[in-house]
Amino acid sequence: MSRVIGIDLGTTNCCVSVMEDGQVSVIPNTGGYKTTPSILGLTEAGKRLVGHLAKRQAVTNAKNTVFAAKRLIGRNFDSPQVQQLRELVAYKILEGPGGDARVELAGRVFTIQEIAALLLREMKRVAEEYLGEPVEQAVVTVPAYFNDTQRQTTRAAARIAGLEVLRLINEPTAAALSYGIGRGETEKVAVYDMGGGTFDITVLELSQGLLEVRATGGDTYLGGEDIDLAIVHHLMEAFEKSDGISLASDAMALQRLKDAAEKAKCDLSQVEVTEINLPFIAQDEAGQPLHLLHTLTREQIEGFAEELVENTREICRSVLADAGFEPGDIDQVLLVGGQTRMPLVQEVVTDIFGRAPYRGVNPDEVVAMGAAIQGSMLAENAEGPLLVDVTPLSLGIATFGGHFTRLIERNTTVPTSARETFTTTRDDQESVKICVLQGESEHSDDNDLLGEFALTGIRPGPKGTPAIQVTFDIDANGIVTVSARDTATDQAQSIQVSARAVLSSEEEAKLAAEFAAEGEVALRD
């Protein structure tokens, strides 16, 4: 059997790891880098550029280069997050036939699953070159706060890439597994995970033979990209004020600003002041070149980041309360994700938990390492900590009057099952529509619609008489299956929830066949 790899499919970077001789190794790509930018570019000739090659040509080919696609995973085109992102990127985001968000590059429309699949296939290729053998199975990480649709979308992307996903594992759980393996200590651990696009906080208990998640929370649209874009807006406003020219419609200028903002943010984690120098950023009405020279301070970017970081404080407090812990109960705090290198983030984390975070893990690599450890355990039936995870969001159905009736509360241990009996609201009603929702609002319209199906063949009778039994099942990957049964007739219907933003089985099969047929066509690092 081929070895199982662990893949961290990140908003900003991807990372792949594998277990070798009992040790976990992060696999470098062809260029020698241990992380690969989550960027895809398409040249005029139709060649695909993945990773560093895509990033290097982004300035001159901004409209045909997609970054931060993870922020679109499992989202409908009309969602506020997608509409916000459309205003901030040079590439086109379009509405797909099912209402999902898709991306247009060089005249070709890509589904988000396809973009994610190209990144996953690159990680597969990197691993195969390193190992010298085919790789067919992987453990893939997802943000702990991903909903069911986002998890299904990630699994679909892996299948398209030719990978069997043995398990989806939450990113903080993977990090805790990497941290805790072989320690043999009993600890309460908080994993604070802020990457490029998402934020998670997970509280776990580690003991010999057990890694138990007590509570998790987060925001799937909060991360370093938001700080980068705030810096870009600042630079655009400063340039327009000094030179009277807006750069908002100049794709090349926007990409240069984005690259400069990211670099300045990283620099200001080490120094107090940095200078941004972008020559020939625009030209005036007479055709004379204009240059952008701007000084940026750590205090300024902390001002841009302050609201975002403070939002994480409230989420941390809520998760600690759900876990039944006080901040002083936490023995160790792990920082995961590149954005946690920011001094402001580290200060806030220290303030929240009353202790300095642990610095013994690499925030860019620890998630992929934990996924590889889990993959090795699953493939070899090896001994290791038993992982006990939770569902991050409440699950239920829409009921009469626009209410949301929970069947499974957030932070319930998975796998799990729940059952409840409902009835009809009209006389002689012969069918009911089951709308499956995920979220925390008491109002059904404010929660995420995961899917819907109809139960027909109900025995006619006065309203309130039929007994309709609804059952929810969640597996270890967080995938939801829902069934409904009329107890009088035993008529039943069930679905594995599949929302609009997930590809149909036919679309997925077509993409998978195309990937398999085209082979090694992409240019790579």
Q: What is the pLDDT of residues 52-104, one digit of tens each?
A: 999 999 999 999 999 999 999 989 899 999 998 998 889 999 999 888 999 99
Active-site residue identified among 114, 122, 171, 473: 171
Say how far apart CA 444 and CA 464 lie, in whole Å: 21
pLDDT digits (tens, 9 = 90+) for 427-443: 999 999 999 999 999 99
Residue 264: strand, helix, or coil:
helix
Active-site residue identified among 193, 225, 365, 508: 193
Question: What confidence score (pLDDT) does residue 155 get?
Answer: 92
Question: What confidence score (pLDDT) does residue 1 get?
Answer: 58
Strand pairing partners for 42? 48
Question: Residue 4: which of 158, 127, 100, 154 has the closest Cα?
Answer: 127
Say how far apart CA 216 and CA 3 lie, in whole Å: 30
Answer whether the bond into residue 415 is a cis peptide, omega within 30°.
yes
Question: Residue 108: which of 43, 38, 61, 155 has the closest Cα?
Answer: 43
CATH of domain 393-496: 2.60.34.10
Question: What confidence score (pLDDT) does residue 18 get?
Answer: 97
Active-site residue identified among 70, 124, 258, 265: 70
Question: Residue 195: which of 218, 222, 169 has the closest Cα?
Answer: 222
Cα 23 to Cα 19, 181, 381: the distances in Å are: 5, 11, 16
Q: Is 193 a catalytic residue?
A: yes
Quote the distance between the C-alpha of residue 119 and its chain's center: 14
Give 4-222+313-389's CATH code, choosing from 3.10.110.10, 1.10.490.10, 3.30.420.40, 3.90.1150.10.
3.30.420.40
**What's domain 224-303's superfamily in CATH?**
ATPase, substrate binding domain, subdomain 4 (3.90.640.10)
Question: Residue 283: which of 254, 241, 245 has the closest Cα?
Answer: 245
Instruction: List strand residue ranges (DSSP E) for 352-457, in order.
Output: 386-391, 395-399, 403-408, 412-414, 416-422, 431-438, 448-456
**Backbone angle region of 294, left / alpha / beta, with phi > 0 → left and psi within -120 to 50 → alpha:** beta
Instruction: List strand residue ranges (DSSP E) for 319-447, in order.
Output: 332-336, 386-391, 395-399, 403-408, 412-414, 416-422, 431-438
Q: Is 8 a catalytic residue?
A: yes
Kind plus residue range of the DSSP H or E element containing 188: strand 187-194
Angle at 68 between CA 116 and CA 193, to 5 degrees: 95
Question: What confidence score (pLDDT) does residue 505 get?
Answer: 76
Eight-state DSSP code of residue 426: S
Say how far apart CA 346 and CA 349 lie, in whole Å: 5
Say how far apart CA 331 and CA 355 lie, in whole Å: 9
Say how far apart CA 374 and CA 274 lie, in whole Å: 41
Confirm if 216 and 319 have CB atoms less than 8 A apart: yes
Quote the distance between the C-alpha of residue 339 and its chain's center: 15
Residue 28: strand, helix, or coil:
coil
Q: Is 272 a catalytic residue?
A: no
Contacts of 325 (CB under 8 A, 6+ apart): 188, 203, 214
Say how far apart CA 31 and CA 165 lie, in whole Å: 27
- Single pTM value for the model: 0.91
Question: What confidence score (pLDDT) does residue 5 get?
Answer: 98
Sequence ranges of the chain with CATH classification 3.90.640.10? 224-303
Strand pairing partners for 431? 456
Question: What confidence score (pLDDT) does residue 523 get?
Answer: 41
Pairing of the two strands 137-142 and 164-170? parallel
Question: Residue 137: which of 158, 116, 106 has the closest Cα?
Answer: 158
Confirm if 77 and 96 have CB atoms less than 8 A apart: yes
Residue 368: strand, helix, or coil:
helix
CB count within 10 Å of CB 488 equals 13
Sequence ranges of the chain with CATH classification 3.30.420.40? 4-222+313-389
Question: What confidence score (pLDDT) does residue 2 get?
Answer: 75
What does the DSSP assignment read for 450-467?
EEEEEEE-PPP-STT-S-
Low-confidence ranges of the chain (pLDDT < 70): 1, 182, 382-383, 496-502, 519-525
Say how far apart CA 463 and CA 460 lie, in whole Å: 9
Quote the distance between the C-alpha of residue 62 and its chain's center: 23
Question: What confidence score (pLDDT) does residue 493 get?
Answer: 85
pLDDT digits (tens, 9 = 90+) for 471-487: 999 888 777 889 999 99
Sequence ranges of the chain with CATH classification 2.60.34.10? 393-496
